[in-house]
Structure 1
């Protein structure tokens, strides 16, 4: 179907790329200026900023408690932003909605960004927080059942990589991985996936912009051939946690997310893949105010509760 009309209105108002070099500081400031004031955010029982100790150092986190309860599932959330943008604040609304709809205590990770932090600093921060959550279940009132890792876009890359790192370390405690329109293959050959050409222009994230946006990460020690950088290149996907993968119809990255679902299923991993029709890249972070895209949070809740169709790599429209 065509792009959602509300998304189309916003895309039409965006200035055309002028080819000037990307300025991380200016872009981060622009993002920060759009963060809504606290009083306009979804209210929850408690939201706490703190830092947690990890092998890579102290990592800022924001912990969201949806309601008062005796125990909670835990969900470690990793924001997107092409590895150099995004923050606890810019994706605060995503974490709040995840907490509200899933009932989990959500731990959002303020990992180190490129280019200031070289690979694998950001990934190590995320994995360290994931292990910290697992090791501090009593402190976090963990229910002993759900320990999920989730991320959108480049955060989905980190979530998938962290799940694989856990398996390699012999840590089997992760129960679910949730990947929203993940960036899983950082080899940007435009012929690798049909969606890179089908959705090359006009939908916000453009194929020509993938290389320059990810250059801050790739030029700072991240090798696209390394499965920690491109999780889809991992040779052995067996034993990874069940996965929910949400893709967007009008996204250059659509096909790599859906292929990853097929590869996981072929390796015996339980997978649920949903394609959101009429959506573009970033719809969970940018357009969840539209009911058909807010559905992503409810689908996540169903997946964690075991009520979704987690039987194989089946692609649906995500709007049911």
Structure 2
């Protein structure tokens, strides 16, 4: 495990972007450049663009013994989901996974390969959630749906062991994963989850001048303007921006399950992960993490071509095997 030294604060301290990651970034930016800026189109059109740009990165990867599309009843209506089974039969451990996309974009389709990779590498079933997206469905709708899923799986016919369940997500999905874990603890359901996996998750609703100067701007995978766009979609009021279910660095994070953080050091929101690791440790939690030097936000999507992405998936899978006793 790396030492939590914190994010770089000067340009001269930045790791060079890994060459394989740079190829991925160049390819992804070229894909986005074929379309109008997300902020200039409707959310529905932005999602269609995002699905097309991400389509090449979901191809290939391990085959599943069974992949089953499901409908999960939630307090806000039925939610589409997908269960990945690498061939485990009954009483299997489970990862509930929430995709990223700024609460606004992406789906279980864009993250299909990533979830198959976790199922294969960790020898677990994975349940991917198509939670309702903003701005049509604002905070806390998606958090409610993820929480409802944790209750639903205990009686659903999924062929899982309900006492061996972990939860995870990337970016915005990681934000909501933490919010749900805190809710469960507050309701006395702290044994419902055995662990939490955070892939370049965001735990704040702002972006510092320093982070923008170091990691944002033209050619970056994400900048402050895009972060602002996402939170404008997600929140109902200015008060929501500092609600501890969104600005999780302000939340009470005592007595949470074991956690594993994937932290790319060239990510504009990597400071969130460093800060959360420190807070969790100070609160006495079991915290594990790895820093991937030269990696960027969303770098796991480069799994077909990047050794760093493959290592991060393997590291997350090893954590899941350990905490799920698989």
Q: Classify the TM-score, shorter chain.
A: 0.7 to 0.9
Residue 251 of structure 1: aligned partner:
267
Confirm or deny that 1:225 pairs with 2:242: yes
Residue 93 of structure 2: aligned partner:
73
Pairing 1:93-112 to 2, within 5 Å after superposition: 93-112=113-132
TM norm structure 1: 0.86
Q: SS at 2:295's partner residue?
A: strand
Structure 1 distance, partners of 2:55, 2:24, is 17
Residue 152 of structure 2: aligned partner:
132
Change (3 A) 1:254 1:288: farther
Confirm or deny that 1:5 pairs with 2:19: yes
Q: 1:196, 1:253 within 8 Å by CA — same for their partners in 2?
A: no
Residue 196 of structure 2: aligned partner:
177
Specify which of 282, 303, 321 is matched with residue 266 of structure 1: 282
Structure 2 distance, partners of 1:280, 1:81, is 15
Change (3 A) 1:55 1:285: same
Shift of 1:196: 4.2
Structure 1 distance, partners of 2:38, 2:258, is 41
Q: SS at 2:97's partner residue?
A: strand
Specify which of 176, 192, 199 is matched with residue 158 of structure 1: 176
Residue 64 of structure 1: aligned partner:
84
Gapped regions of structure 2 (runs ≥ 5): 1-14
Q: 1:244, 1:272 within 8 Å by CA — same for their partners in 2?
A: yes
Residue 28 of structure 1: aligned partner:
47
Q: SS at 1:224's partner residue?
A: helix
Gapped regions of structure 1 (runs ≥ 5): 308-320
Structure 2 distance, partners of 1:29, 1:208, is 20
Root-mean-square deviation (Å): 2.6
Q: 2:58, 2:114 within 8 Å by CA — same for their partners in 1?
A: no
Q: Judging by fraction of residues, say which structure has more helix.
A: 2
TM norm structure 2: 0.84
> Which stretch of the first structure deviates more once superposed, 2-11 or 75-84?
2-11
Change (3 A) 1:92 1:18: closer
Q: 2:20, 2:305 within 8 Å by CA — same for their partners in 1?
A: no
Shift of 1:195: 3.7
Q: 1:199, 1:207 within 8 Å by CA — same for their partners in 2?
A: no
> Which stretch of the first structure deviates more once superposed, 294-303 or 111-120?
294-303
